[in-house]
């Protein structure tokens, strides 16, 4: 392990905000977390686990300990006629893992291409995009429990996965450290192409029987064209979750907005794109000082270079207020705010 005191987090959050932490620990092997816990008693000490910081907004210095996993190996656990099972360590770059699986013609995570972050963070948020979610491929999550001071394993059903949610984001928040995930990938995949404009883009490209590689490339191009790269402009991707409303609420909205887009997500539940709500409320491409929404995708709040965390938060709250006043819908932040 490596320990740094009074450490700048500017390169560990994709908003590019220059806040410091009291101590920063690079974890080079999963087993080191046991020693770190004995040293700092993490169940009693303020701490934060950061991968690439692609889903976090700092509004001040962090007075506690930041833990960053760098161990990133992955290996095949087993295989059968239908699936190949991989164990992936927490520090593995997620996009690299997706592109590896696609290169082997393995299906299940190809639609999750170009999502920034590390593998260890994927189950916490139950990352998802274009009709796929990590919960659909996870078999087991390996983690260290700070309170019990032991390593544990949860099966998929114990993780309580939900839309952008899991037990790791709720009951076990700040109580565990994910060391690896086990995922199952399909050997004979059937690509998911019915979400967003994937099917349209495949048609334009003249692809009639798409492979996972075709779908991966199409989605990567879609994301590149509509989402800003954090390397070029500070952002954390989608700032808000797509709200889920009841059928009755949706029918009420439809009377005023006949063209409102929607997705059925369960009995008496309708998901409405937050980007559509934000655009309708006049915030697409809006700039206020050093902050604004991205001109191609209003769901993304960007830092134009000199914003503080509080400037970004104030702007996000302004959007939330406008949406609630106009639509009676309360947006929930997808980004973690500290």
pLDDT at site 150: 94
HSE-CB of 175 using CA atoms within 13 angstroms: 10
Residue 225 has pLDDT above 90, yes or no: no
| Catalytic site includes residue 238 | yes
Q: What percent of the chain lies above the pLDDT cut of 90?
A: 74
How many helices and strands (H and E) does the chain possess?
Answer: 8, 20
> By CB neighbour count within 10 A (0-12 exposed, 13-18 middle, 19+ buried), where does 45 fall?
middle
Considering 54, 101, 238, 308, which one is annotated as catalytic? 238
User: Where in the chain is CATH 3.30.465.10?
Assistant: 74-186
The architecture that CATH gives domain 74-186 is: 2-Layer Sandwich (3.30)
- Give the pLDDT confidence of 309-334 residue by residue, as tens digits: 999 999 999 999 999 999 999 999 98
Q: Can you name the CATH fold of 2-69? A: 3.30.43
The single residue of 26, 32, 279, 334 carrying the catalytic annotation is 334
Q: Would residue 211 show up in a list of annotated catalytic residues for this protein?
A: no
Of the CA atoms within 13 Å of residue 126, those in its CB half-sphere come to 20
Q: Is 334 a catalytic residue?
A: yes
DSSP line for 208-253:
SS--HHHHHHHHHHHHHHHS--TTTSEEEEE-BPPPEE-HHHHHHH
Residue 64: pLDDT band by 50, 70, 90 thresholds? Answer: very high
What pTM value is reported for the model?
Answer: 0.86
Residue of 89, 101, 164, 166 with catalytic role:
164
Specify whether domain 234-337 bears CATH 3.40.50.300: no
| Residue 163 confidence (pLDDT) | 83
Size (the chain), residues = 338
For residues 12 and 130, give the distance between their C-alpha atoms in angstroms, rounded to a whole number: 27
The mean pLDDT of the chain is 93
| pLDDT bracket for residue 208 (50, 70, 90) | confident
Where does the chain hold its CATH 3.90.78.10 domain(s)? 234-337
Instruction: For CATH 3.30.43.10, list the domain ranges present in the chain.
Output: 2-69
């Amino acid at each position: 392990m490596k320990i740094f005191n009074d450490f700048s987090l500017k390169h560990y959050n994709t908003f590019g905000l220059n806040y410091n932490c009291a101590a920063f620990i690079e974890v080079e092997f999963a087993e080191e977390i046991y020693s770190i816990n004995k040293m700092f008693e993490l169940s009693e000490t303020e701490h934060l686990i950061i991968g690439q910081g692609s889903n976090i907004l700092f509004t001040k210095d962090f007075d506690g300990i930041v833990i960053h996993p760098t161990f990133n190996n992955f290996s095949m656990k087993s295989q059968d006629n239908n699936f190949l099972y991989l164990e992936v360590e927490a520090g593995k770059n997620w996009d690299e893992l997706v592109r590896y699986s696609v290169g082997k013609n393995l299906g299940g995570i190809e639609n999750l291409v170009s999502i920034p972050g590390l593998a260890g963070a994927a189950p916490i948020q139950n990352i998802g995009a274009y009709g796929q979610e990590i919960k659909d491929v996870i078999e087991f999550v390996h983690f260290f429990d700070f309170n019990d001071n032991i390593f544990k394993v949860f099966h998929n059903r114990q993780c309580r996965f939900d839309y952008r949610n899991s037990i790791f984001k709720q009951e076990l928040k700040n109580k565990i450290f994910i060391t690896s995930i086990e995922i199952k990938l399909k050997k004979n995949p059937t690509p998911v192409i019915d979400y967003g404009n994937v099917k349209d883009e495949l048609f334009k490209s003249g692809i009639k029987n798409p492979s996972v590689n075709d779908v991966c490339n199409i989605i990567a191009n879609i994301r590149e064209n509509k989402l800003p790269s954090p390397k070029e402009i500070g952002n954390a991707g989608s700032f808000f979750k797509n709200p889920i409303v009841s059928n009755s609420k949706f029918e009420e909205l439809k009377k005023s907005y006949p063209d409102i887009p929607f997705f059925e997500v369960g009995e008496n539940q309708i998901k409405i794109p937050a980007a559509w709500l934000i655009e309708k409320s006049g915030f697409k491409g809006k700039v206020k000082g050093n902050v604004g929404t991205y001109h191609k995708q209003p769901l993304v709040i960007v830092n134009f270079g000199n914003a503080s965390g509080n400037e970004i938060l104030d702007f996000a709250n302004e959007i939330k207020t406008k949406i609630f006043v106009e639509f009676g819908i309360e947006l929930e932040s997808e980004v973690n705010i500290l």
